[in-house]
Amino acid sequence: MQRRELLKDLYGEASKCVRCPLHQTRTNVVFGAGNANAELMFVGEAPGANEDRLGLPFVGAAGKLLDKLLSEIGMSRGDVFICNTLKCRPPDNRDPHPIEIESCQGYLHGQIELVEPTMICTLGNFATKLLRGDITGISRLHGREEVRIIGPRAVRLYPLYHPAAALYTGSTLEALRADFKRIPELLALGAPPQPEPVPELPEIEIEPESEPLESDRLRAPEPAPQLGLF
């Protein structure tokens, strides 16, 4: 089965998800969109109001900036896969709660495993901390690529500021644009060396216990010693 069909199956599962309370307030599950065979994946934080309404990631002002930055390096949405750490919008665009991230991360890991990107750009703190398994903030990590094992695969993880954070802060936008310009050269490096697959252990057949001997069946148990109470 092709990757796109497998992603559709995973989307079908996510669209009916009730693993956390966010299913009670969502309009649409925002699963992700883009090229199912993309070498480059972007992982953001969570859907906003526009994304929740349309069921697509990064369709608001931050999405327009993301499109512009992609065009500046000769790419478009059709070349990449875009998704979020959460697939449902938190009410009032609040920060994701730990239980929501934990409940939803299986879908993200499934997307990474199916798309098989060689490089993942994490956008902002939540995606960066989740995929690095570390609490270090984005202001210290942005623009610093590293190889990370995520699920069964090794990828080049490249933390970036979230486009929403760059909309109203000139210095953040400059840093984001400078980090974006390095994406083509990092993609040109290709996939990092992959870990050796874990060999499957051979099944061990356990011999059934032998039938007890007739003499064992007939032997009466020895009476237990009686303990006096006084």
**Is residue 125 classed as helix, strand or coil in its secondary structure?**
helix
Domains identified in the chain, total number: 1
Whether residue 200 lies inside any domain: the answer is: no
Distance separating alpha carbons of residues 204 and 54, to the nearest angstrom:
52
- Local confidence band at 226 (pLDDT 50, 70, 90 cut-offs): very low
Domain of 58 in residue numbering reads as 3-188
Whether residue 58 lies inside any domain: the answer is: yes
Whether residue 215 lies inside any domain: the answer is: no
DSSP string, 162-223: -HHHHSS-HHHHHHHHHHHTTHHHHHHT-PPPPPPPPPPPPP-PPPPPPPPPHHHHHPPPPP
Whether residue 226 lies inside any domain: the answer is: no
pLDDT value at residue 227? 35
Whether residue 229 lies inside any domain: the answer is: no
Closest CA relative to residue 1, chosen from 31, 36, 39: 36
pLDDT in tens, 120-171: 999 999 999 999 999 999 999 999 999 999 988 999 999 999 999 999 999 9
Whether residue 45 lies inside any domain: the answer is: yes
Threshold 0.95, pTM exceeds: no
Helices within the chain (DSSP H only): 3-14, 49-54, 61-72, 98-115, 125-132, 138-141, 163-166, 170-180, 183-188, 214-218
Distance separating alpha carbons of residues 219 and 118, to the nearest angstrom:
69
DSSP state of 126: H
Instruction: Give me the CATH number covering residue 85.
Output: 3.40.470.10
Average of per-residue pLDDT across 15-39: 97
Whether residue 217 lies inside any domain: the answer is: no
Edge-to-edge, what's the strand order for the sheet holding 119-123? Answer: 33-34, 80-84, 40-44, 119-123, 153-160, 146-150
- Local confidence band at 196 (pLDDT 50, 70, 90 cut-offs): confident
In the numeric block, the tokens 């310009």 are attached to 181
Q: Which amino acid is at 28?
A: N
Calculate the alpha carbon distances from 198 to 117, 154, 156 in Å: 21, 14, 21
Which run of H or E residues covers position 39? none
